[in-house]
Amino acid sequence: MKLYGDYTKEDWMKNLGMKEAYIPGTFIIHGEYEHEENMETWKKLLTKEQWHPTWNLVVGEHNNQQIGFANVFGGPSASMVAHRFALMGTENLIQTGYYGGLSLDIEYGDILIVTGAYMEDGVSQWYAPGETMVYANSELVCAAIDYCEEKGYRYVTGSVFSTSAMLMETAELVKSWSQDGHIGVDMETATTFAIARKFNRKSIGLLNLSDHIIEGDTFYSRAKHIDDVMDETDRRIREISLYLAEKF
């Protein structure tokens, strides 16, 4: 008897109906509840020989590089993509999406280049048992920093607290995470980092500030003009992700 945890590369390729040529060198895993707009954007970016097996996943080419994109929400959803493609041979996993701000020194429009993630996502512990933190690949981090410096893009570096229950965040909890030194809180990064570590792949997180919760800001109270700032930051993160995909 062979179950999911026993599957090999060949098993997954057969089950997904996937060709070797479709295995991307880089997979961009985007954490967000709304998916339709993101899928349309990436279908336009990833052209030529597109493979679109499920509602939230597309593989195609950009500047002669085979790249994958998936829209996920939370660690379990992210793991369904990261596990299968890391096992099949994808070298780079780039986690994008959003973070709640835990530092008073950040502003909307700051790209968080994630260097590490605290493992409270509910998934990463299965891939890195006994650990509490998982880390990004230093080469990817340095390359992302250099690119932001060259382009003049605002960025910060640091760790996130990856949670599985966003709606259980309280002022007291958020304060404790901030005091522990985390820059932000998200739901997927620890999962993606742990899976990359398990399969000896490279990973990085590039996140967009969505709600500055350490200041009491939420999705429902932030100023309307922030939406435009976030849209531009999303564009920059896509640009950096594609740059890293080509470089690595």
Range of the domain at 15: 4-210+217-247
- Reduced 3-state DSSP string for 123-138: CHHHHCCCCCEEECCH
The predicted pLDDT at position 175 comes to: 98
DSSP secondary structure letters along 17-48: T--GGG--SEEEEEE-S--HHHHHHHHHHSEE
Residue among 122, 110, 17, 28 nearest 74 (CA):
122
The single residue listed with the structure tokens 């709606």 is 167
Q: What is the pTM of this model?
A: 0.98
Neighbours of 76 (CB within 10 A): 15
Residue among 213, 204, 134 nearest 178 (CA):
213
The predicted pLDDT at position 49 comes to: 80
Cα 17 to Cα 14: distance, rounded to the nearest angstrom: 5
Residue among 210, 86, 193, 85 nearest 138 (CA):
193
Q: What angle do CA 27, 32, 35 make, to 5 degrees?
A: 85
The single residue listed with the structure tokens 């792949």 is 201
- Give me the percent of the chain exceeding a pLDDT of 70: 100
Contact 203, 136 (CB under 8 A): yes
Which run of H or of E encompasses 109? none
Residue 163 has what DSSP assignment? E
Burial of 226 (0-12, 13-18, 19+ CB in 10 A): middle
Residue among 51, 56, 54 nearest 67 (CA):
51
Residue type at position 91: E
Residues contacting residue 56 through CB under 8 Å, at least 6 positions apart:
35, 39, 70, 71, 72
Residues of the chain below pLDDT 70: none
The predicted pLDDT at position 34 comes to: 87
The predicted pLDDT at position 219 comes to: 92
The predicted pLDDT at position 43 comes to: 96
Q: Would you state the structure tokens that stand for residue 70, as one six-digit string? A: 């998936």
The predicted pLDDT at position 156 comes to: 99
Please tell me the total count of domains within the chain. 1
Residue 9 belongs to a domain with what CATH number? Answer: 3.40.50.1580
